[in-house]
Amino acid sequence: MSEYPTEDTLNLIKNWSSKDFELAELICSIWNSDYGSATLTGKRVKTLQLATGGWSGNEDIVAALQETMFAKVCWQMSKRGGLYIYKIPGRIK
């Protein structure tokens, strides 16, 4: 993807209601990998690793994600430079 995420897409992220890792799959599908990376790994417990690459569109996605319960429950680490790591159990309670 090379286009900025739309307001509709950012609102979809902010208002996500599912309690599983499907939000992480959506994030990976809209992430601009020309500037950063988004990987989802693991089986029972998944890890979502996002690196914004400094691109403001990716940073907008992270900002929307940080407003969700998903981020509050799954956040593990963030580092200066745009690295974010989330651990996602099979089902978020």
List residues bridging with 40 in a β-sheet. 48
State pLDDT tens for residues 37-77. 999 999 889 999 999 999 999 999 999 999 999 999 999 99
What is the domain partition of the chain in residue ranges?
7-88
**What is the pTM (predicted TM-score) of this model?**
0.89
Cα 13 to Cα 65: distance, rounded to the nearest angstrom: 6
Which residue type is seen at 69? M
Q: What are the distances in angstroms from CA 27 to CA 59, 68, 86?
A: 12, 13, 12
Cα 22 to Cα 31: distance, rounded to the nearest angstrom: 14
Structure tokens at 38: 């988004």
Whether 10 has a pLDDT exceeding 70, the answer reads: yes
DSSP 27-72: HHHH--TTTSEEEEE-SSSEEEEEE-TT-HHHHHHHHHHTTSHHHH
